[in-house]
A and B are shown apart, each in its own frame.
Chain A
Amino acid sequence: MPSPETEPALALAGVSHSYRSRGGTVAALGPLDLEIAAGEFVTVVGPSGCGKSTLLRLVAGFAAPSSGSITASGTPVTGPDPARGYVFQQHRLFPWLTVAGNVGFGLRGLPKAERKARVTELLELTGLGDVGRARPYELSGGMQQRAAIARALAPGPALLLMDEPFAALDAFTRERMQEEVRELWRRAGTTVVFITHSVDEAVYLGTRVLALSGRPGRVVFDRASGLPYEEQPRGGQSFAALREELTEVVRLAASAA
């Protein structure tokens, strides 16, 4: 029996998924074999419709794969679990709760005072210290996505799943948020799987960069990268090189689809 520390944070074995639709079944993803170690920041790029969201939903346990198995830290994934936090592309904050109420949603088990302290801490951490009492729709897009991240972090997940979380943001906000997420990850050490359609974002954030082929998505590129550990990743030669290489891979994947 391997101990939990040596177990990968996430392991996919022969995972594929297809959707039933009017014209029969559509193969959306895989087959896919993948192991992710604890502490990795894995970014996933791929052409639109190649199954990136499908992959993340399966890992989250929102749906069961058509075939194959998924285990997180040695435990089979059978459904959603607070050990795996999820950040949606559209923030999906609960509109009937305040920002603080959203962040506290996953802390029901805690005593009230402890819960309040934890919510305050998370709001501070994500730069939302003074908008806890606001409603989600009163926030800007960037703040909404920060609140969604705070909400997902609240139960202390071992794995954070993010599906194009910054796709709807303007360029300035987006860069800021990338910087903040990198900071968060460096401090908290949570394992992250981060979907994006931006090659630049993938290279900037990923300690491991994956690219998927066109539908059904398979891994066609898998590269470890030290860039996120550097102070100014964007400046250097290796950033430009990896970015160029990945751009070419995605272009090929997209045209082959």
Chain B
Amino acid sequence: MSTITAPSENTTGEQAPARSGAPSLWRSLALRAGAVVALVAIWQAVAMARVWPPVFVPEPAAVWEQFLRTTGEGVSGYTLQEHLLVSLRRILLGCLYGVTGGVVLGLLIGMVPTLRALLGPLVTFVRTLPPLAYLSLLVIWFGIDEEPKIWLLLLAALPPVAVATADAVRGVHEDYLNAARSLGARGHELPLRVVLPSALPEIVTGVRVAVGVAYTTVVAAETVNGVPGIGGMVRDAQRYNQTDVVVLGILVIGLSGLLIDFLLQTLDRRLVPWRGRT
């Protein structure tokens, strides 16, 4: 972190804003951990009260046992790690394609009025659809292996990024463009040198939304031939009333989602340190 040596004019009371550093990072981590502990405590209390039978509300200990079993000998033919990794790979690929496509599409929609008229409504239409609505279509088109799942995640991740990018691109302050052009930038250089970087805060926010949507969609994507995969694992467990495995699967999805969002927040701070400061 660079500290700025104050020039003499700063003695007049002008102050450069201070940067918030590492402590807030630990604080947010501690808050997250605290929330998790509190939730587990409530869960334990509810389970011990035996209001509902364990097949509805399994105890934390039973889920923990399943955690040990599934990470060791596995379930539905694969270990928990393998299920998770396959799901994460699908999310990663889906988001990668979705975000790339979303940024490109957003740039085009934001900058070319004709394309905005053509593609804008289509993107909005796809965004309002629940991903499950077009899963069947994707299965018909692409079969039941990896392809339809990646496509589903792609289609879920793309619209939020495209919409965020398009809005940000249209909102680029014209004086940034004027400044760049009076500094010799040519028209064809503007998208990469000015438009994209100035839209970066909104794009990164869009990416976070997209990853979130992909997370909520992956379980749905894995209801068809989803083993290995966390969603497939949960679905199998549901068939055999293994509630503890279902809960375990939900927890793993949720916790890994938290972790990913935390990583994305860190990425946000790295990529957009000027957020809220211009």
Binding site for B on A (CB under 8 A): 57, 60-62, 79-82, 84-86, 88, 90, 92, 94-97, 105-106, 108-109, 127, 130-131, 133-143, 151-152, 154-155, 170, 172-173, 176
In this complex, how many residues of chain B approach chain A with their Cβ under 8 Å: the count is 33
Decide if B184 is an interface residue (CB 8 Å cutoff): yes
- Chain A's nearest CB lies how many Å from the CB of B21? 14
- Using known A-B contacts A95-B278, A170-B14, determine if residue A131 contacts B9 with beta carbons closer than 8 Å: no
A152 to chain B, nearest CB (A): 8
Docked-complex contact B278 and A137, CB < 8 angstroms? yes
Q: Known contacts A106-B184, A137-B278; is A142 also within 8 Å of B4 by CB?
A: no
Contacts known (A95-B278, A140-B15, A170-B12); A81 close to B173, Cβ less than 8 A: no
Enumerate chain A residues within 8 angstroms of B4, measured Cβ to Cβ.
131, 134, 138-139
Tell me if B176 is interfacial: C-beta within 8 Å of chain A: yes
Return A72 CB to nearest CB of chain B, in Å: 12
| Binary contact readout B194-213 vs A (1 if CB under 8 angstroms, 0 otherwise) | 10011010000000000000
Nearest-neighbour CB distance to chain A for B103, whole angstroms, equals 15
Expressed in whole angstroms, the minimum distance between the Cβ of A117 and any Cβ of chain B is 18
Q: B128 within 8 Å of A by Cβ?
A: no
Residues in A neighbouring B197, C-beta threshold 8 A: 94, 96-97
Bound complex: CA A106 to CA B178 (Å): 12
Knowing A131-B4, A140-B16 are in contact, say whether A94-B184 is a contact too (CB < 8 A): no
Contact A151 B14 (CB under 8 A): no
* Chain A residues with CB under 8 A of B73: none
Asked whether, in the complex, the Cβ of B277 is within 8 Å of the Cβ of A92, the reply is no
**Residue contact A88 to B175, C-beta cutoff 8 Å:** yes
In the bound complex, do residue B14 and residue A140 qualify as a contact, i.e. CB atoms below 8 Å apart?
yes
Chain A residues with CB under 8 A of B274: 95-96, 135-137
B253-278 residues at the A interface, CB under 8 angstroms: 273-274, 277-278
For residue A137, which residues in chain B have a CB less than 8 angstroms away from its CB? 16-17, 274, 277-278
CA distance A140 to B16 in the complex (A): 5
Q: B: which residues have CB within 8 A of A?
A: 2, 4-5, 7, 9-10, 12-17, 19, 173-176, 178-185, 194, 197-198, 200, 273-274, 277-278
Given A62-B178, A80-B178, A82-B184: 6 more A-B contacts, CB < 8 Å: A60-B178, A81-B182, A88-B175, A94-B179, A140-B10, A142-B9
State in angstroms the CA–CA spacing of A152 and B121 once bound together. 41
In this complex, what residue of A is CB-closest to B173?
A92
Q: Give the chain B neighbours of A173 by CB distance below 8 A.
A: 9, 12, 14
Q: How far is the CB of B36 from chain A (nearest CB, A)?
A: 35
**Contact present for A151 and B9 (CB under 8 Å):** no
* Contact of A86 with B200 at beta-carbon distance under 8 Å, contacts A134-B2, A170-B12, A176-B9 already known: no
Contact status B178-A86, CB under 8 Å: yes
Residue of A138, A141, A151, A176 ringed by the most chain B CB atoms within 10 A: A138
Q: What's the minimum C-beta distance from A175 to chain B, rounded to whole angstroms? A: 10
Q: Within the assembled complex, what's the spacing in Å between the Cα atoms of A131 and B4?
A: 7
Chain A residue at smallest Cβ distance from B275? A95
**Who on chain B is nearest to A108 by CB?**
B184
A173 to B180, CA, bound (A): 27
B184 to A109, Cβ gap below 8 A?
A: yes
- Lowest 10 A-B CB distances belong to which pairs? A106-B183, A95-B274, A80-B181, A80-B182, A96-B197, A137-B277, A140-B14, A82-B184, A172-B12, A95-B278
